[in-house]
Chains A and B, each alone.
Chain A
Amino acid sequence: EPEVTQTPSHQVTQMGQEVILRCVPISNHLYFYWYRQILGQKVEFLVSFYNNEISEKSEIFDDQFSVERPDGSNFTLKIRSTKLEDSAMYFCAMGGNGGAFFGQGTRLTVV
């Protein structure tokens, strides 16, 4: 049974547009994470979120990105002014020790 549901499953957006990727936990978790995988590359850490604050972020997670839990349940990743190189699978994860439970991912395609 999936712990994490991500929406949408696929998002196509024009370069320069803003996108919001959503993550809905099925059960209560305290730690939330976003990872991404560019085609043919490793899964990369973006950001971790605990107690409504960013606890750690990678070099990739610059001012273009932001995260929040707007209603205390959904966990969102916002990418402002998307670039072609933002095209990737974006995975939300939850749990301790880096995020044991991953969602099925959102495929973001920037055209």
Chain B
Amino acid sequence: DQQVKQNSPSLSVQEGRISILNCDYTNSMFDYFLWYKKYPAEGPTFLISISSIKDKNEDGRFTVFLNKSAKHLSLHMVPSQPGDSAVYFCAAKETSGSRLTFGEGTQLTVNP
């Protein structure tokens, strides 16, 4: 199942800089997208979401951009902090369904 793909298994950034995490999808029926953060031995924690009627959504340090024509979304986080080091998942949902389809995740490391 490759409907949602995060092509970068890992990303390393310096504290205070911007982290940009990317996600691509293939299913045109997806109309709602979410980003989660996950620490080891914990469940995913919701960060931010975006509906397909928008191309940008901001919440504090997080901004999500959606490019429907490219079937691409990205999560921008600034300033990055060492406590942000975690696995970040994007997920997508169809209008007609209730399930989330997850990407593989990107391990973000924020270096002090």
Contact = CB atoms under 8 A, between A and B. Distances in A.
B28 interface: no
Contacts of A97: 32, 34, 49, 93
Contacts of A103: 43
Interface stretch (B16-24, B57-65, B100-108): B100-108
B89 to A, nearest CB: 7
A25 interface: no
Contacts of B32: 97-98
Chain B interface category by residue count: 20 to 34
Given A98-B34, A100-B34, A43 B98 contact: no
Interface majority SS (helix, strand, loop, mixed), chain A: strand
A106 to B, nearest CB: 10
A56 B97 contact: yes
B101 A45 contact: yes
Nearest to A102: B43
B104 A42 contact: yes
Contact of A104 (B34, B43, B91, B93): B43
Interface of B: 1, 32, 34, 36, 41-46, 49, 89, 91, 93, 97-105
26 contacts: A33-B100, A42-B104, A43-B89, A44-B102, A45-B99, A48-B98, A50-B98, A55-B98, A56-B97, A56-B98, A58-B99, A91-B43, A91-B44, A98-B93, A98-B99, A98-B100, A100-B34, A100-B46, A100-B49, A101-B46, A102-B43, A102-B44, A102-B45, A105-B41, A105-B42, A105-B43
